A and B are shown apart, each in its own frame.
Chain A
Amino acid sequence: MITISYNNEFFNIQSDTSLENFLENKKLPNYYAVTVNKKVVSKSEFNKIQLQNNDHIEIIVAVGGG
């Protein structure tokens, strides 16, 4: 098992989990981006990213702004 954080919440997951596997059950908006350890990950790369212990995943979206 490894521990990762997802928008500041901690999860214990199997060590062979890909980013795609991890996100598949998460409720996500239609338009979003994902960062792993502050690096932008293209959606086409989700299945190639093998999550590591202490990885920090964040979901980024558009919000109101001027």
Chain B
Amino acid sequence: MLKIGSFKFGSRLILGTGKYNSLAETEKALSTSGTELVTVAIRKIDFSEKNNKNLLDIISPKKYTILPNTAGCYTAKEALYTLELAREILDGHNLVKLEILADTSTLYPNVVETIKCAELLYSKGFEVMAYTSDDPIVAKNLSQCGCVAIMPLGSLIGSGKGILNPLNISLIVEQASLPIIIDAGIGLTSDATFAMEMGCEAVLINSAIALSPNPIKMALAMKNAVIAGRLFYEAKKMKISNKSYIANPSSPKKNF
């Protein structure tokens, strides 16, 4: 069971809802993945859209826990405004993904603004999951200012480059008193499994599924990758000999 603040989830796979070809495809991928927690962005309504359906008409908050993000925000002030809108849209729902960007080309997080905003959001009753860099000190600072989960990037948003600094992620996991969730960079199923093997509590995936030529099959692949990694982490790795590199047969040596 994944516990994030006052929320509990059976699935450890969090899905983004961007970049799909249609709302129907989004819903099919989400339901196939088994996810219970899905991110959304907050924007002005577009009345010109041909399909007049709204995302939350398809991805119902009665079925999924909605995680509004602050994508596109570059200051704490913008992020706070966006999440106040989200709380109004979702009738008081308070679990949010804080994402304050520093740079338009890398979408790297502005950790100074993120820490400042996390403290403010905590004082206003939000439960904050914070997107951040893979810096263990920043992760520690965020955990001390009321966040309910820390979400370091594996690599740049939408890059699919995997987990580029596993040693830093391990440091963050080892010192953590909160769930650590890899947010951004997952490209392969092995990336998702690797994150879970290291002890991350969950992974957040969007592009790797939505931009696959077969998003529904990829959603199932990522579901199983996350399950496999978590089972491995719970079962624990075999003990490996420190002696020289020699084989150790699995079959009996005697009575051959």
Q: Which residues of A contact B (CB under 8 A)?
A: 7, 27, 29-35, 38, 40, 42-43, 58-66
Contact = CB atoms under 8 A, between A and B. Distances in A.
Interface stretch (B43-51, B164-172, B191-199, B246-254): B43-51
9 contacts: A61-B43, A61-B45, A61-B56, A64-B40, A65-B18, A66-B16, A66-B18, A66-B157, A66-B207
A63 B47 contact: no
B16 A33 contact: no
Given A62-B68, A64-B40, 14 more contacts: A31-B90, A33-B89, A38-B81, A40-B88, A60-B42, A61-B43, A61-B44, A62-B54, A62-B66, A63-B40, A64-B18, A66-B17, A66-B18, A66-B39
Nearest to A38: B81
A37 B101 CA distance: 25
A38 B158 CA distance: 30
Interface residues of B, number: 38
Contacts of B2: none
A60 B44 CA distance: 4
Given A33-B85, A40-B84, A64-B26, A59 B18 contact: no
Contacts of B66: 62
B64 to A, nearest CB: 11
B41 interface: yes
Interface string B61-98: 10000101101000000000100111011110000000
Contact of B45 (A7, A38, A42, A65): A7
B38 to A, nearest CB: 10
A62 B69 CA distance: 10
Contact of B41 (A27, A33, A42, A64): A64
Nearest to B47: A7
B231 to A, nearest CB: 26
A65 B40 contact: yes
A43 B157 CA distance: 35
A40 B82 CA distance: 10
Contacts of A42: 88
Which 4 A-B pairs give the minimum distances between C-beta atoms? Answer: A65-B41, A66-B16, A66-B206, A29-B54
B232 interface: no
